[in-house]
């Protein structure tokens, strides 16, 4: 949609490589004319991102380091964004983490430490990022996060992450109420399974993928571009009447009983 996000400064958090949902979002936002600012945690992701941007001829306004496990890191990332870019109009939060050992077997075996880590990185991070970002959204704005059906229904192996996503979705609603008065909206996309670096090596992904091809109304899975376009909608004025919402981009799978 050329021109839809012309002149908008949007922060994209969570590109690890070309398979990342955040990369699909990046290509949609770029086509819509947005000015893009990126944050990475690992040096490896930073290097991948720089190469991807060069290859796709996308000129970033800024790339900053941000580990959402640290308040200082979030504060300094948004301070740098403020210094270099001034106002921002959108944030894409595409970040989650749980220990591998907590993503198999029984949920009841989750350790205290593993539970808190999943909550901290996958849910609290949206709270902390919203707090920092709203200071830069002086013309209003839109914040979009990524969630999964495992927050609503029991999905085998998703375990501690399902509980973290339930917390993330509730945070979307409470944050939407907080920042609505400043003209800022907060929404989530609930994507169907997509083969990304995070999904690699976790048990159950292949089985879930084939069930969707068989049972989803559209008889197929979704890809990064479809999530990218839906996220672009939430970042644009086309969705100006929507906040606190969780939108399923899953070929309709969630409606099947
Ligand atoms: P990726 O592995 O591509 O992206 C995950 C990102 O999380 C990485 O860029 C990683 O950064 C970042 N991250 C993890 N910990 C931290 C941290 N402490 N601070 C900052 N960044 C961190 O996977 P996806 O694209 O699949 O995941 C993106 C989002 O989409 C997640 O919220 C996921 O739960 C959600 N989702 C994914 C689905 C799927 O099927 N793939 C389905 C539905 C939702 P780095 O590489 O620098 O460590
Ligand atoms: C039921 C599904 C099958 C997979 C089960 C759990 C998936 C959880 C997602 C979670 C984000 C994965 C991890 O945290 C992996 C982590 O322990 C190891 N990986 C890494 O450290 C890599 C290198 C980095 C880049 O990853 C992160 N996250 O930083 C769920 C499927 C069907 C849908 C998915 C995959 C949902 C989702 O939320 O991602």
Question: How many angstroms separate the alpha carbon of residue 141 from the centre of ligand 1?
Answer: 22
Cβ atoms of 11 and 39 closer than 8 Å: yes
Say what the pLDDT of residue 163 is. Answer: 98
First-last CA distance in the chain: 35
Say what the pLDDT of residue 54 is. Answer: 98
Question: How many angstroms separate the alpha carbon of residue 221 from the centre of ligand 2?
Answer: 17
Say what the pLDDT of residue 135 is. Answer: 98
Mean pLDDT, 10 residues at a time, over the chain (257 residues)? 95 98 98 98 98 98 98 98 98 98 96 98 99 98 99 97 99 99 99 96 86 97 98 98 99 97
Q: Coil, helix or strand for 114?
A: helix
Mutate to test the pocket of ligand 1, among 124, 196, 221 (most ligand atoms within 8 A of CB): 196
The DSSP symbol for 105 reads S
Ligand nearest to the CA of 195: 1
> Is beta strand 9-13 parallel, antiparallel or unpaired with respect to 184-191?
unpaired
Based on the residue annotation, tell me whether 253 is a catalytic residue of this protein.
no
User: Domains in the chain and their CATH numbers?
Assistant: 9-250 (3.40.50.720)
- Of 122, 254, 141, which Cα lies nearest the Cα of 187? 141
> Is the ipTM here above 0.95?
yes
Cβ atoms of 77 and 129 closer than 8 Å: no
pTM over 0.80: yes
Cβ–ligand 2 distance for 126 under 6 Å, the answer no
Ligand nearest to the CA of 147: 1
Say what the pLDDT of residue 203 is. Answer: 80
Q: Coil, helix or strand for 91?
A: strand
Q: Name the token pair of 17.
A: 């490589």
């Amino acid at each position: 949609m050329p021109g839809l996000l012309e002149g908008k400064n949007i922060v994209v958090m969570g590109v690890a490589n070309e398979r990342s949902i955040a990369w699909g979002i990046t290509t949609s936002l770029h086509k819509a004319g947005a000015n893009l600012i990126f944050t990475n945690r690992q040096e490896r992701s930073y290097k991948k991102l720089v190469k991807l941007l060069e290859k796709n001829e996308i000129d970033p306004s800024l790339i900053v380091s941000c580990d959402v496990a640290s308040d200082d890191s979030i504060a300094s990332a948004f301070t740098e964004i403020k210094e270099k870019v001034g106002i921002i109009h959108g944030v894409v939060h595409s970040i989650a983490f749980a220990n591998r050992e907590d993503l198999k077997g029984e949920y009841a075996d989750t350790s205290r430490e593993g539970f808190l880590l999943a909550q901290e990185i996958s849910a609290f991070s949206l709270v902390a990022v919203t707090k920092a970002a709203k200071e830069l959204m002086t013309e209003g704005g839109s914040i979009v996060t990524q969630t999964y059906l495992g927050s609503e229904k029991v999905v085998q192996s998703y375990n501690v992450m399902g509980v973290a996503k339930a917390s993330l979705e509730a945070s979307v609603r409470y944050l939407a109420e907080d920042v609505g008065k400043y003209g800022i909206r907060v929404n989530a996309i609930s994507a169907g399974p997509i083969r990304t670096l995070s999904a690699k090596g976790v048990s159950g992904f292949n089985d879930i993928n084939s069930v969707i091809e068989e049972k989803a109304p559209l008889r197929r899975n979704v890809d990064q571009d479809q999530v990218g376009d839906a996220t672009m909608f939430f970042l644009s004025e086309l969705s100006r009447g929507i906040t606190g919402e969780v939108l399923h981009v899953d070929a309709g799978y969630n409606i099947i009983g």
